[in-house]
Structure 1
Amino acid sequence: MGTSFDPSRSVPLQRRFRMSDGVELIGDVWGTSDLPPALLLHGGGQTRHAWKRTAAVLADRGYCAVAVDQRGHGDSGWSADGAYEIDHFANDVRQLAAGLPAKPVLIGASLGGMASLIAAGEADTSVAAALVLVDITPRIEPAGVERVRKFMAAHIDDGFATLEEVSEAIAAYLPHRPRPKNLDGLNRNLKLGKDGRYRWHYDPAFVRGMSARADGDREARLTAAAQRLRIPVLLVRGGSSELVSEDIAREFVGRVPNARYVDVHGAAHMVAGDVNDPFTEEVLAFLDGLSNL
């Protein structure tokens, strides 16, 4: 990575993608369309801005990085009928991938990883050149999942009076992260309502349906999809992840062809947000290895 490159100053182009059911997704694109594409899908409750620094570095290193707000998140449209089953997210991934000039590397965190895994593993024909799963596997720790759900559901109706309140809630949830001195960056994940209160930038219907969607067949389905993959797979695990233990990671790579995993120390479940530069370097090392195959 050149020392003169400052990813924080890189400005993407915004694109709109209309899905087959009419939901419009908003994405940011770094790099030109003639470069190998990388499609970045964030986790539940996040937005495309979670990938900003990584996407800018990918573009600087010769990739066209496309980061998209998933349905019901960020600036993308909300489903009028609450269409937030994993199949809806997976179908979005397939449509997004099909609209790119070449098969992309899918880079998915949590929800984005599950959607990417199903999109790639259940497709009759290959939709991706490779897959990067960010702290997500078919089997995950139930206690960690419940902690994520509780955080996302808290204040879902009443919101927050100030950005300081938001910062306090994040600090309690992510005590390992340094608190930002400038709170303006929080606005990317919030929307200010007419009542003057801040709320997370996702559809409450998505969160309210999370428990109902977490059925017992999900692990078996994701495992079957993973075992069908015939593309290179990298699992990037947060070294202190509350969802993916080291045993789970080893189990995953033992079952999935062409898979390996790396730990990113100092990171919990939200790896890219916890220690972005080490995370990005692991992804780049994986992508550079693909070019040598």
Structure 2
Amino acid sequence: MKAMIIRKYGRGPLELAEMPMPSVLEKDILVEIVAASINPVDFKIRDGKLRMLLKYDMPLIMGNDFSGIVTQVGKGVKKFKVGDEVYGRASKHRIGTFAEYLAIDEDDVAFKPTNISFEEAASIPLVGLTSYQALHDILQLTRGQKVLIQAGAGGIGTFAIQLAKAMGVYVATTTSQAGNDLVKSLGADQIIDYKHEQFDEILQGYDGVYDTIGGKTLEKAFKIVKPGGQVVTISGLPNARFGQAYGSGFIKTNLFRLATRNITKLEKQYHAKYHFLFMKASGEQLAIITELIESGKIKPIIDRIYSFEEAQEALNYSETGRAKGKVILKVK
């Protein structure tokens, strides 16, 4: 099968290569991929920035989420049959959606929403699951609470705003003037123009912050949460709480404690909890998201669609950070 691969870590271009068909395990389904999406985690994997958490053999097929059609099922599969239209986020050790076929555990897959296209469906799994686990599982937001969602016009932000509003939550978000109309249309209650305003000088008393940027922006987030509030990030560093949950040995090292010392200090100073989110694949949660999409509470936001052969161009565009919504690869 054709696939987009890397042969080593670094910023080199993707290579179109002929790769073996994936093996189908007992609980696997084999999916003919129709579309896949580009995500920031793709850059981090390519550049080797996640090697402390994830180890991959080379050559590596890139890509993390997809939509497609089931072409084969393992002997133990109970939920799906050949011909079903599905979408999902591959587990972290079985990525490879920039390809014609993918073998994936049935528990990591859900039926594609019936009211959207394959390209729209491919835009959902990673950003949808990440946002659901941040807002629902970690922050545990309830109706009437307040959350700041960073970078509201981006792939994650456009989904997270809609999910938070479906949960009955008051949403503040940051964006440039170019993204103002988009985030407003998605339901954002308060919009901060990050080029001309400082969110930490405007907002206060928030129940949670969903950080997608990291760095100094993450550190400023602690200033706006009320005592007992929470900050969840996908762009900061893991901390001891993450290590307890995932058993990551390197998080217990003195070097890592030194790197996260400032975050620990901010937690104590502002009486807040900090969480690093390492999203898990979940067909069950994706099925909940499917219901929200089919009910019209959430709609996919796509910036551009590229052909499979234009995967490198799609990656380059996504990496600029200018995309409003998701960037999609049309595989089939």
Please confirm whether the aligned pair reaches a TM-score higher than 0.5, indicating the same fold: no
The TM-score normalised by the length of structure 2 is 0.24
Structure that is richer in helix per residue: 1
The TM-score normalised by the length of structure 1 is 0.27
Structure that is richer in strand per residue: 2
Q: Which has the higher contact order (CA 8 A, sep 6+)?
A: 2
